[in-house]
Amino acid sequence: MKKFVNDPADVLAEALRGIQAAHPDVRVDAENRVILRAEPTRAGKVALVSGGGSGHEPMHGGFVGLGMLDAAAAGEVFTSPTPDQVLAATQAVDSGAGVLHIVKNYTGDVLNFEMAAELAAAEGVQVESVVVADDVAVTDSTWTAGRRGTGTTVILEKIVGALAEEGADLAAVAELARRVSAAGRSMGVALTSCTVPAAGRPTFELPDDEMEVGVGIHGEPGRSRVKLASAREIAKLMVDPIVHDFGEPVGPAIVLLSGLGGTPLIEQYLLYGEIAPLLAEAGVDVQRVLIGDYITSLDMAGASLTVVKADDDMLRLWDAPVATPGLRWGA
């Protein structure tokens, strides 16, 4: 296993130490493994709390800061945080105006956040939750755990964070969060597996001439394994199911192309060069683009594409100032 690591059991604690050393604008609660803004929540501001398994950096801890999250609970690698962690985050950032939990749709995340919300409510904190389930690779059915939550989470945290920063109340913040969540679709492709440090070897073996289409951000195998294709063909494998899933003309949209951790930017750009014309052809009017490693899967080579249908309000909030370790502009 070729990683910058000491004892694999210490990965999370030690990564948090690095985050604290690098970013004076955030505060790491090492005991609870929670990343918070250095400044307490402004009175009256609704707080945004997210979290999930680690290994997806900069998500979520890297999105804590002005205009985005107030706190993020960091679980072990690929393991949802515990209710205690989420509760600690929630209590730490509630200014009295309530807290929005932003949850990605995985059984573990949903259950742990649910328990935390119950505990927080018992302590008198108003909590609303939004569950992101945007991965079109997964058949959405009442017979399954439903779609995974992926890239839409990043866009949601930015847009809804801006609204909370403006002083909107919890109901309005939660309502917008649900709108953004409903407006997003994602699709990922892996060229290699990732290696979970504690497991010590790749989660799956991919022959040199194959790739996983519809892979999850935890190295869950995808829906199909196919021959390694050109960037041009891969772009189609990503764009088509998203556009098809929208069903209706998309119109103005915010697009995120995220590397999965082991794919360098030059390849992401090359891939986006193939994606952009396909989106245009399909009637997606790309208003804003984010390219880079925003939601990763440890060292996996691959990329995920997210398209969020965006109205004027969302675009305005997207453009509002943000100052976090992972996303920053206007401040």
Cβ distance to Mg ion smaller for residue 79 or 258: 79
Q: Which of 211, 213, 242, 307 binds a copy of itself (CB under 8 A)?
A: 211
Q: Which of 104, 148, 158, 309 binds another protein (CB under 8 A)?
A: 148
DSSP 40: P
Least distance (Å) between residue 178 CB and a copy of itself? 28
Q: In what order do the strands lie in the sheet with 210-213?
A: 224-227, 210-213, 184-190, 302-309, 251-259, 284-292
- Binding site partner of 107, from a copy of itself, Mg ion, ligand ADP, none, Cβ cut-off 5-8 A by kind: ligand ADP
Contacts to ligand ADP from residues 89-128, by CB under 6 A: 107-108
In contact, 48 and 100? CB cutoff 8 Å:
yes
The strand pair at 302-309 and 251-259 is best described as antiparallel
Contacts to a copy of itself from residues 186-205, by CB under 8 A: 191-192
Does residue 57 interact with a copy of itself by CB under 8 A? yes
Contacts to a copy of itself from residues 15-44, by CB under 8 A: 15-19, 21-23
Does residue 323 interact with another protein by CB under 8 A? no
Residue 140 CB coordination number (10 Å): 14
Active site residue 23: no
In contact, 53 and 76? CB cutoff 8 Å:
yes
Instruction: From 80-88, 125-133, 151-159, 270-278, give the range in contact with a copy of itself by CB under 8 A.
Output: 270-278
In contact, 183 and 151? CB cutoff 8 Å:
no
What x-and-dash track marks residues 76-95 binding another protein by CB under 8 A?
xxxxxxxxxx----------
Q: Which of 96, 249, 273, 283 binds a copy of itself (CB under 8 A)?
A: 273
Residue given tokens 């109901």 in the structure block: 171
Token readout for 98 is 């309530």
Query: From CA 48, how far away is CA 190, in angstroms rounded?
Result: 31
Q: Per-residue DSSP letters for 240-284?
A: HHHHHHH-S--EEEEEEEEE-BSS-HHHHHHHHHHHHHHHHHTTE
Q: Which residue is nearest to ligand ADP (CB)?
A: 108
By the criterion CB under 8 A, which residues form the site for a copy of itself? 2-6, 11, 14-19, 21-23, 54-55, 57-58, 62, 77, 191-192, 208, 211, 228, 230-232, 234, 257, 261-274, 276, 289, 291-293, 296, 298-299, 301, 303, 323, 328-331
Q: Which residues are known catalytic residues?
A: 56, 218
